[in-house]
Amino acid sequence: MKQIKKQFGKWSMVLAGATVVIAGCTASKQETAQQPAQEQPASKVLSLTAAGATFPYPLYSKWFADYQKENGVQINYQAVGSGAGIKQIKNKTVDFGASDAPVDDEELKTMPGKLLQLPTVAGAVVVAYNLPQLKSPLKLDGAVLADIFLGKITKWNDPRIAALNSGVSLPAVPIVVGHRSDGSGTSFIFTSYLSAVSSDWDKKVGTGKSVSWPTGIGGKGNAGVAGVLKSSPGAIGYVELAYAHQNNLPVVTLKNKAGKFVEPSVEATTAAIDASAAAIEADVRAPIINADGEKSYPIAGLTYLLVYEETGNTDKAAALREFLNWSMENGQTMAQDLDYAPLPESIKTVNRQIIETIQ
């Protein structure tokens, strides 16, 4: 695997799980002595609030900033994790939520209204590590990765890791596992993959936004896990691809379902979407992890915006429709530069039909 290099000028905001406030601007009417009878009230700034996933935060930050510049709409987004985002939309404390884990049928029944789920982009959950003494790229497969996170493989020079990295000198140092401490859609994608490739993981831990981790150190948000990795020699953990690039972390080349070792990339994530497109068109919640195809990266996932069909506010409903349609057009053109895979036209068409039902 070649060293990933990026120009960090793409990022205009720090990738932290903090609140982003995109300021709006007001338009005012000019009053003149010649037009007293035509005076109109000053227009109000329309404001939308949102909260949720840190996984798409680098991209959403740019979306909200650019949309405000183009349309004068203020969007306040709190990158607090998918679990908190789902909770806030359930409590109706935000206008829309964001989650990398789609809301399942059982949880949908607990919502106070009909909840719509729109995939926005896809991203790769990468396995990053801190082994400065390793001079060659690291290769892993799903079974070995699951046993590392189960705490069954505890040293970097374990024979099973060595077998996948022939000719590479692996250090005899302890493995430090890093994972999310908060309710996380990134964890949902990662644990979905581990459950798919390891029956032992599936039985002992399972899939979820929050799980009982057998071992390791927790960090809040993708940024928190990146911090654990940077500060802990011998560490391994999972973050969204953009966070690995931002923090200059080396990433694992992972063996996919077809038996090929694949580097995480936009192209490999797109291959996973394409292999899963028919299932997504039938149900936008369909997973894209462990997808078929020699070029597919195996730990890929869609991220979603969550909004009620009935908003109770006609102005906000119109604003949500306009923004979401914008995200399917202008927003998609920004995805690749920030390490996300844009949606194919077929899935955008499904989204547009969903968007039109918002009222």
What CATH code is carried by the domain that includes residue 96? 3.40.190.10
The answer to whether residue 294 is domain-embedded is no
The pair of structure tokens assigned to 227 is: 């911090």
More confident residue, 42 or 344: 344
Tokens 């369909």 identify what position? Answer: 286
Residues 153 and 250 in one domain: yes
Q: What is residue 156's DSSP assignment?
A: T
Query: Is the Cβ–Cβ distance between 226 and 57 less than 8 Å?
Result: no
Q: Where are the alpha helices (DSSP H) in the chain?
A: 57-71, 82-90, 105-108, 142-149, 159-164, 185-197, 199-204, 221-231, 241-246, 266-282, 314-328, 330-333, 345-355
User: Whole-model pTM?
Assistant: 0.85
**Among candidate residues 282, 310, 333, the one where a domain is terminated:** 282
Residues 104 and 82 in one domain: yes
Residue 39's region, left for phi above 0, alpha for psi from -120 to 50, else beta, is beta
The answer to whether residue 31 is domain-embedded is no
Percent of the chain with pLDDT over 70: 87
Residues 131 and 273 in one domain: yes
Instruction: Give 255's strand partners.
Output: 261
The residue type of 266 is V
Tokens 């998609």 identify what position? Answer: 332
Residues 321 and 195 in one domain: no
Contacts of 299 (CB under 8 A, 6+ apart): 124, 125, 126, 127, 189, 190, 193, 238, 254, 264, 289
Q: Return d(Cα 141, Cα 71) in angstroms, integer.
A: 46
Residues 107 and 202 in one domain: no
Residue 358's region, left for phi above 0, alpha for psi from -120 to 50, else beta, is beta
The answer to whether residue 215 is domain-embedded is yes
Q: Where are the alpha helices (DSSP H) in 232-313?
A: 241-246, 266-282
Q: Which residues form the domain of 177?
A: 125-282
The answer to whether residue 155 is domain-embedded is yes
The pair of structure tokens assigned to 334 is: 């920004």
Residues 154 and 257 in one domain: yes
The tens digit of pLDDT for each residue in 95-128 reads 999 999 999 999 999 999 999 999 999 999 999 9
The answer to whether residue 207 is domain-embedded is yes
Query: Is the Cβ–Cβ distance between 300 and 205 less than 8 Å?
Result: no
Residues 203 and 266 in one domain: yes
Residues 118 and 202 in one domain: no
The answer to whether residue 2 is domain-embedded is no
The answer to whether residue 170 is domain-embedded is yes
Query: Is the Cβ–Cβ distance between 98 and 51 less than 8 Å?
Result: yes
pLDDT level of residue 32 (50, 70, 90 thresholds): very low
Residues 80 and 207 in one domain: no
The tens digit of pLDDT for each residue in 34-83 reads 333 333 333 355 899 999 999 999 999 999 999 999 999 999 999 999 99
Residues 80 and 129 in one domain: no
The pair of structure tokens assigned to 184 is: 């996380």
Residues 144 and 154 in one domain: yes
